[in-house]
Chains A and B, each alone.
Chain A
Amino acid sequence: MTSILKLPRNVLKKIGKLLNEEDILRIRTVCKATKGIVDDVINKRAHPAPNINSIEFWKPIHIDEFEIIPDSIPIVSEFLEKSEIHSVGFYEVPHDITDKQRGYMMKIITQFKPECVQLYTAEVDLLKMAAKCGNMHCGAVETMISEDKISIKPCILIPFIVDILNGKIASMDKKMHFSASVDSSLPNMMVQYGHLKVVIDE
């Protein structure tokens, strides 16, 4: 008899990818095989490549929709629960959003586990908020993808925000350029942030 544990790893992985965030976390407790696969899947989701295909997984909330989100944290929680949003992505958030929009975004960011938030913005206060919430996967990105290279600029990744908060980097005024050489065989042009080469333009 074929056991579910004897399914080929690629099939088990596919099953994992077909689950939503909550269910996939629950199957971590089934057995060691599912835990390993789930951790792989979650890890991949937490480090999406900065391109359109990778962000489609996340459910973006557009700034235009903020008007329908009520203005208090308990009601925001209720809104998110009712709308069954389990993860959230903010992309290309402009730096000149209004205070109200920023407030909504901050409330939303605080409602999610860090690994369920994707935030790409040049808006410094939002990045700081995400950093305070422990989110290490956010950054301000503008990507240029060529055949063998992804350039991200200007880009301030959360680990650097943490450094700024800790006083290790004095100012955020410098333009930071990040570039990453990408192994073209990697699926989805995955970029591991830890491997990014950092060049600071004075």
Chain B
Amino acid sequence: MVLITLVSSDEQNFPVERELLKQSGTIETLIVNMNLDDEDTDAAAMPIPLPNVKGDVLEKVIQWMEHHKGDPVKEGDNEDNNAEIVVPQWDDDFFKPAMYGSKHLELTVAASYLDIKNLLTLSCKAISNTFKGKTGPQIREEWGVPNEFTPEEEEAIRKENEWSE
């Protein structure tokens, strides 16, 4: 089993099975560019630095990839259709403890940076699920977002949306 070492922004090393890394478009590109798949290359001696991902987040990403090992990697992104995507129970349990906090958001940003399409979609879907059936003020309160609108602006937007309330 070929192991490739990922190095987080806080310089923690994570040896990861080569096969798992196929889920990440960013890492896959690096592996190809660094010729890490060549038999002549000592992949173990060439760690891949990921300066935008902290160790604790990278650990979660790897945990997610291990669970989803072998899953087909989504090609393209037909986003107009995915309002009905369902977050599987395992992923829901995986995301839930960190939901509403910075950890889940950091995981989502890491999924975007590492181009792990399935993780990004499910992670974003988990966030969007927290918005379901809630009003703007309720979402602001849950996510700690300050209100930038004047009462008049808020009322104007509410009127535009009236039919959906």
Contacts and interface: CB of A to CB of B under 8 A. Distances in A.
A11 B109 contact: yes
Interface stretch (A12-20, A166-174, A175-183, A194-202): A12-20
A68 interface: no
A2 B102 CA distance: 5
Contacts of B33: none
Interface string B69-105: 0000000001111111100000000000000001001
A27 B149 contact: no
Nearest to A57: B80
B145 A23 contact: no
Contacts, number: 112
The interface residues of chain B, by DSSP majority, are classed as helix
Given A10-B112, A11-B124, A18-B128, A27 B136 contact: yes
Contact of B78 (A23, A44, A53): A53
Contact of B144 (A3, A10, A45): A3
A20 B83 contact: yes
Interface residues of B, number: 44
A25 B120 CA distance: 22
Contacts of A3: 102, 105, 144-145
Contact of A29 (B83, B105, B128, B154): B154
B112 A19 contact: no
A17 B81 CA distance: 8
B40 interface: no
A180 to B, nearest CB: 20
7 closest A-B pairs by beta carbon, nearest first, are A29-B136, A57-B80, A22-B164, A18-B128, A2-B105, A17-B79, A2-B102
10 contacts: A2-B105, A17-B82, A18-B79, A19-B83, A19-B132, A29-B137, A31-B149, A53-B78, A56-B80, A57-B80
Given A18-B125, A57-B80, 6 more contacts: A2-B105, A4-B145, A17-B80, A18-B79, A19-B131, A44-B80
